[in-house]
Amino acid sequence: VYTYVINGRVALIQPESNLTNISIAFDVLNETLGNPKCVFWDFDLFDGLGGWSEDGCSFVMSENGSVTCNCDHTTSFSILMSPSSYSDPPLEYITYIGVGISMGSLIICLIIEGIVWRKIRTNRTSYLRHVSIVNIAVSLLIADIWFIIGAAISKTKNAPACTAATFFIHFFYLAMFFWMLASALLLLYLTVNVFDGGLSKASMLAIGFSLGYGAPLIIATITIAVTAPSKEYIQNNNACWLNWYKSKALLGFVIPALLIVAVNLIILIVVIFKIVWRRYGENAAQAGEKHVLLVIARSLAVLTPFFGITWGLGVGIMASPKNRGIHITFALFNSLQVIFFQAQWEIRFFDLKRWNRLQTHVSRKRCLLLNPVCEGCSSDCLV
């Protein structure tokens, strides 16, 4: 067991440019001591009391009474659930490659939605489902953009800019979760009241937007209003994200995110049970509604556990913030979740197109049985 003592000057470095890698050489005070470690003072350790940390700093070499250290502090996805920033080059690569791929996938998703928007709004359920998809994609895309902006700002030590970036990252990631909740609640409502009229499309859209953007705005605003005046809103360790050690502001993201994942799982179980055991009529409208409900249920059945695993790893990060394996796994899952979302959307879209072709074929057969002279005519014969 080693006992470490300070064996060199304590340096306060304020670089004139935005540096991400800093190499420093220290003259040792006592050359009889060995096993040098390179550390920096982390103000967030020990509930804000501060302490020496090795994160992001590594020993390079020791020769001629001098020790060379290299420090690299970067921002990764794991900071979203981490009490303090964790610096690791592989983690940085996973994060930024994942962000690039996810942003590209989201843009493709939105382009496809724009192209086929008129064709996919076959009924109220389908229309509201695609409204949810678009808003989840938009929220996640803007959140990713602000994440990149925040990572760049964190190196400038600009507190007001970092505060603004943190607010928007917090808001748009929460919006993604609340739109997932809105989609699940929509599924539950339409499953229970699928053919009973109920709320109009306009009313359901109003509820969806109020929940999807109103709730995140309230939470994000309360979080910044309570913690910013005491300068405890953001972290103090080169990261634009919610503080943990001083104000527990991070709970303003963690608690809603995990609660929504849990609620979605419960809703999913209830909906699947009702869809399986409920009997539907034979007319086309009822069959169409049921099919779209099954499409939404299948999507949530895959995405909800995936999101649950991802953000469950986030809880692991909070419990063990120095565990490199959990950080890398969380960053990888968080980067891939949007690709998974895109893949599920594509599968469901082509599945819906295939089902629509089948329904058209069935309708044409029924039409020909009722009016045989219509064979070879235009599709106007279809009912």
Q: What is the DSSP string of 271-335?
A: HHHHHHH----SSHHHHHHHHHHHHHHHHHHHHHHHHHHHHHHHHHHHH-TT-HHHHHHHHHHHH
- Output the pLDDT for position 9: 66
- Output the pLDDT for position 236: 65
Q: Does residue 348 contact residue 368 with C-beta atoms inside 8 Å?
A: no
Distances (CA, A) of 173 to 33, 81, 292: 48, 12, 27
Q: Where are the domains of the chain?
A: 21-72, 77-367
Give the strand pairing for 40-42 and 51-53: antiparallel
Return all residues near 70 (Cβ < 8 A) that are at least 6 apart: 21, 22, 23, 24, 38, 57, 58, 60
pTM over 0.75: no
- As a CATH number, domain 77-367 is 1.20.1070.10
**Phi then psi dihedrals of residue 56, to 5 deg:** 85, -5
- Output the pLDDT for position 296: 61
pLDDT in tens, the chain (383 residues): 445 667 666 666 665 555 566 777 878 777 766 677 788 777 767 666 777 777 777 778 877 778 888 776 655 555 555 555 555 667 777 777 777 877 888 888 888 888 877 776 656 777 887 888 899 989 989 998 998 898 888 777 788 999 999 999 999 999 999 998 998 888 788 777 755 556 788 888 999 999 999 999 999 999 999 999 988 898 866 678 888 878 889 899 989 988 998 898 888 888 777 766 655 444 555 555 566 566 666 666 666 666 666 666 665 665 555 667 776 777 777 666 666 665 555 555 555 455 455 445 444 444 444 444 444 444 333 33
